[in-house]
């Protein structure tokens, strides 16, 4: 139980540090949070997992809007 609490504490601290750095970047660029997110574009999940050291993660790639593709092919 102690390890779980320690891990939760460390992960919350990490989340707060990341949020602070994002807030600083937004202020420097004088953008709204929505503009900042749009400017970042798509997230490369595989690269993010590598940077965080998550090696045992399975990423499921799903095609977006499968119904839209069916309608276009007919």
Examine the pLDDT at 70 and tell me if it is beyond 60. Answer: no
Examine the pLDDT at 1 and tell me if it is beyond 80. Answer: no
Q: What is the crossing angle of helices 33-40 and 2-29, to 10°?
A: 100
- Tell me the pTM: 0.48
Interval 37-53: pLDDT, tens = 888 777 778 888 888 88
């Amino acid at each position: 139980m102690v390890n779980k609490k320690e891990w939760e504490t460390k992960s919350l601290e990490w989340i707060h540090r990341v949020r602070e750095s994002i807030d600083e970047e937004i202020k420097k660029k004088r953008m709204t949070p929505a503009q900042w997110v749009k400017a970042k574009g798509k997230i490369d999940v595989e690269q993010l997992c590598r940077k965080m050291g998550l090696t045992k993660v399975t990423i499921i790639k799903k095609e977006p809007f499968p119904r839209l593709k069916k309608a276009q092919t007919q």
